[in-house]
Amino acid sequence: MFSYNAPEGLLNDRIILVTGAGDGIGRAAAHAYAAHGATVILLGRTLEKLERVYDELEAAGYPQPAIAPLNLETAVEHDYIELANQLEETFGRLDGILHNAGLLGVLTSIENYDPIIWQQVMQVNVNAPFLLTQTLLPLLHRSQDASIIFTSSGVGRKGRAHWGAYAVSKFATEGMTQVLADELENISQVRINCINPGATRTAMRAFAYPAEMPEKNPTPEQIMPLYLYLMGPDSAQVNGQSLDAQGDGHA
Active site residues: 166
Contact 196, 215 (CB under 8 A): no
SS3 192: strand
> Of 61 and 210, which CB lies nearer to ligand NDP in the complex structure?
210
Q: How far is the CB of 228 from ligand NDP (least distance, A)?
A: 16
Contact 164, 113 (CB under 8 A): yes
Paired strand residues for 243: 195
Residue of closest CB approach to ligand NDP? 24
Contact 37, 12 (CB under 8 A): yes
Q: How far is the CB of 222 from ligand NDP (least distance, A)?
A: 12
Q: How far is the CB of 9 from ligand NDP (least distance, A)?
A: 26
Interface residues toward ligand NDP, by CB under 6 A: 20, 22-26, 44-46, 49, 71-73, 100-103, 124, 151, 153, 197, 199-200, 202-205
> Of 25 and 35, which CB lies nearer to ligand NDP in the complex structure?
25
Q: How far is the CB of 46 from ligand NDP (least distance, A)?
A: 3
Contact 219, 201 (CB under 8 A): yes
Contact 25, 246 (CB under 8 A): no
CA 80, 82, 86: angle at the middle one, nearest 5?
Answer: 115
> Of 113 and 163, which CB lies nearer to ligand NDP in the complex structure?
163
SS3 154: helix
Contact 97, 87 (CB under 8 A): no
Q: How far is the CB of 37 from ligand NDP (least distance, A)?
A: 23
Q: What is the C-alpha separation between 242 and 105, in angstroms, rounded?
A: 23
First to last CA, the chain: 12
Q: How far is the CB of 60 from ligand NDP (least distance, A)?
A: 19
Q: How far is CA 67 from the centre of its chain?
A: 16
Sheet holding 190-196, edge to edge: 66-69, 39-44, 15-19, 96-98, 146-151, 190-196, 242-244
> Of 113 and 150, which CB lies nearer to ligand NDP in the complex structure?
150
